[in-house]
Amino acid sequence: MESSRNITWQSSNITRKEREQRYGQRSVVIWLTGLSGSGKSTIAFALEKELFAHERACYVLDGDNIRHGLNRDLGFSEQDRKENLRRIGEVAKLFMDAGTIVIAAFISPHAHDRQMVRDLFEEGDFIEVYIDCSLSACEERDPKGLYKKARAGEIPNFTGVSAPYEAPQQPELTIDTEHESVEQCVAKVIAELERRADQTL
């Protein structure tokens, strides 16, 4: 676009490293991906609460919450889903630059779209966490009644039913919410953060 040629990135006088030192943590993006009903939001908010209890600066970017405001102009076509994730990636990057641990919970069904987001970050700044849960278990939970509507044909292009979900082939971490408790899942993510930061949270 023509306007993009006439803008310049304005750098802060405070670096990301300085913010990290102030907060006593390494900022990072934890990207939770999985089917609807797999437990992404549950894990995300439980993780946020645990990190906050340890005095960490953190924030959850949740799929439904984002579509209430920032991305409420987007639908669920493949192109709109891609744009939804692109915007979230850029927002997550800003949060991370502010020294925050970002927890992003999005179905993000396509591998190429997740790669697009990953490419926004430097090596080590993006942790892909696959929330592994079978379709049958997600349908049985169906906390929002979406699978029932999708099976009835009321929701087109629904991931797992009438649209594909491409599971990550090499995520940094895989969590099995079908067989592990919320506490166990959160502990796994924290252990990964501790390993990367070489410190105890």
How many alpha carbons lie under 13 Å from residue 179 in its C-beta half-sphere?
5
**What does the pLDDT read at residue 1?**
47
DSSP state of 25: S
pLDDT band (50, 70, 90) for residue 201: low
The annotation status of 4 as a binding-site residue, yes or no, is no
Q: pLDDT tens, 10-58?
A: 888 899 999 999 999 999 999 999 999 999 999 999 999 999 999 999 9
pLDDT digits (tens, 9 = 90+) for 137-158: 999 999 889 999 999 999 988 9
Would you list the domain boundaries of the chain? 22-199
pLDDT of the residue at 103: 98
Q: What is the mean pLDDT of residues 171-183?
A: 96
Q: Which fold has domain 22-199?
A: Rossmann fold (3.40.50)
Active site residue 4: no
Do the annotations mark residue 188 as ligand-binding?
no
Residue 75 assigned to a binding site: no
The DSSP bridge partners found for residue 29 are: 102, 126
Return all residues near 135 (Cβ < 8 A) that are at least 6 apart: 35, 160
In the structure, what pLDDT confidence band is assigned to residue 190 with cuts at 50, 70 and 90?
A: very high
Q: Residue 169: is its pLDDT beyond 60?
A: yes
Quick: pLDDT tens for 52-75: 999 999 999 988 888 888 888 888
Query: Which of 4, 11, 77, 108 is the catalytic position?
Result: 108
Q: Report the alpha-carbon distance of residue 161 to residue 139 in Å, rounded.
A: 10
| Distances in whole angstroms, Cα of residue 103 to Cα of each of 41, 123, 143 | 10, 17, 21
Q: Flag whether 27 is marked binding.
A: no
37 is in an annotated binding site: yes
Q: Give the per-residue pLDDT at 197.
A: 76
pTM to 2 decimal places = 0.91
- pLDDT band of residue 200 (cuts 50, 70, 90) is low
What confidence tens digit (pLDDT) does each residue in 93-135 have?
A: 999 999 999 999 999 999 999 999 999 999 999 999 999 999 9
What local confidence, expressed as pLDDT, does residue 148 receive? 93
Is 34 marked within a binding site?
Answer: yes
Q: Which ranges constitute the DSSP H helices of the chain? A: 16-23, 40-53, 63-68, 78-97, 111-118, 135-141, 146-151, 182-197
